[in-house]
Structure 1
Amino acid sequence: MKSAVVKTALMASVVMMMGGCATNALPPATMQGAIVDVDGNYIYRIGAGDVLSIFVWDNPDITGDYTVRPDGKISMALTEAVPAAGLTTEMLAIKMTEILSGYINSPKVTVIVKQASGTLGEQVKLIGNAVTPQSIPFKQGMTLLDMMITVGGLSPYADGNNATLIRIRNGQKRHYRVRIEDLMNDADLDANVDLMPGDVIKISEAWF
């Protein structure tokens, strides 16, 4: 009898501990809005996997294409690893000029994004009932139609006309209803919308 009571008490303690652990929720991921200029135009930020063309005038030995490493840095001759992810090309050019000034007289640096992946926070993400839900790098002028073509369209059970576009602007999260079924099945271009960096599109399953 005593052993049964002890066993029951131990099991209750384990359940309580498990329940206590389950209540400890992780904080939500930080979602950054896009960088825009004074006119509201999108400014691209360098991300891991980007291929950068870096021109150092009159210095062909270090001029070339550089891939941003998974840790967000680039490796060049003369310098240690240089943080690049999250910067604009102008910001990186200024940083490279400052660094190279210790090795070269009055360096002039130009940075161009040759192949873009973008920061993870700026990629456009589609989740739910599409043929191939995925994240894709944002490109200037990207629309909902472009995204749906990339993911292969709606799945057979998608509630396309009640999809949700989630957007972070000025630190505020907003939800917008989008009519993907009308866009894809009826070519209703009024249902097409412009996308912004970091947009998340959620397509739920239809209830029949």
Structure 2
Amino acid sequence: MNTTRAITLLLLTYMLASCATSRGPLSEDERPPEIQASAAPEFRLGTGDVLSVSVWKNPDLSVRVPVRPDGYISVPLVGDVLAGGRTPAEVSKETERKLTKFIRTPKVSVIVEEIPSAEFQNRVRVVGGVAEPKSISHRDGMTVIDLVLEAGGVNEFSSPNSAKLYRTTDGVARVYNVYLTDILSEGILETNYPLVPGDVITIPERRF
């Protein structure tokens, strides 16, 4: 009899543990790719950044120019070259390609001299059901819960387990579920993702 009761208790304990959360483990498609130290997002140029474009052996074609609001820079001979949203290396290659109409095997270097856009690009944001929506500078090692706590935590009208993480990777916007109730109340850290610059967390509020 005691053995039967012991087995029953073990089964009940197992069942309760299994029901602690109503969802199973996240699949690979449901979670953002792991962040590797060597895979940090590349810096991409933005409006207002100032570039020094140098053409080897052609000082007359070298120029210091800002990225215009339309994302372009003006380079002698070739005219407009798209810079916004690109890396300096990509701007260099595009300028070389256009210069081949005028110069044999041109060599172009692009150096970023001023980067006022970096402060905007390097931010992470949380909006919706928090005490105070925030847009703050990203810090290495920052996670979802760090950002939510910076915003004063969730408010009484929020639906924490319906939160979303919005992230743009290689120009493609992706959305990931964030289960804040599980993180804050249950200590289940599966969706306490590391953040990267540009991430946005949204926390919806309940409808009454």
* TM-score after normalising by structure 2: 0.51
Q: Which residue of 2 aligns with 1:117?
A: 117
Q: How big is the shift at 1:40?
A: 4.3
Q: Which residue of 2 aligns with 1:20?
A: none
Counterpart contact for 1:130–1:155, Cα < 8 Å: yes
3-state SS of the aligned residue for 1:96? helix
Q: Which residue of 1 aligns with 2:175?
A: 173
The C-alpha deviation readout for 1:84-111, integer Å capped at 9, x for no partner, is: 2232222211110112233344321122
> Could you tell me the percent identity over the aligned residues?
30
Distance 1:123 1:81, change over 3 A: farther
- AA partner of residue 117 (structure 1): S
Q: Which moved more, 1:194-203 or 1:95-104?
A: 194-203
- AA partner of residue 127 (structure 2): I
Q: How big is the shift at 1:167?
A: 3.2
3-state SS of the aligned residue for 1:91? helix
Distance 1:199 1:111, change over 3 A: same
Distance 1:93 1:176, change over 3 A: same
Cα-Cα RMSD: 5.0
Q: Which residue of 1 aligns with 2:201?
A: 201
Structure 1 unaligned segments of length 5 or more: list them: 1-32, 183-190
Q: Which residue of 1 aligns with 2:59?
A: 60
3-state SS of the aligned residue for 1:43? coil
Q: How big is the shift at 1:79?
A: 2.7
3-state SS of the aligned residue for 1:47? coil
Q: How big is the shift at 1:83?
A: 1.6
CA distance in 2, matches of 1:133, 1:42: 22
CA distance in 2, matches of 1:178, 1:62: 55
Structure 2 unaligned segments of length 5 or more: list them: 1-31, 185-190
Q: How big is the shift at 1:41?
A: 4.3
CA distance in 1, matches of 2:61, 2:141: 34
Counterpart contact for 1:158–1:204, Cα < 8 Å: no
1:8-19 aligned at under 5 Å gives the runs none
1:17-56 aligned at under 5 Å gives the runs 40-56=39-55
Distance 1:108 1:200, change over 3 A: same
3-state SS of the aligned residue for 2:59? coil
Which of 152, 166, 172 pairs up with 1:154? 152
The C-alpha deviation readout for 1:21-59, integer Å capped at 9, x for no partner, is: xxxxxxxxxxxx99x99x744233333333333232233
Distance 1:177 1:79, change over 3 A: same
Counterpart contact for 2:134–2:151, Cα < 8 Å: no
Q: Which residue of 1 aligns with 2:97?
A: 98
Counterpart contact for 2:78–2:95, Cα < 8 Å: no
3-state SS of the aligned residue for 1:94? helix
3-state SS of the aligned residue for 1:44? coil
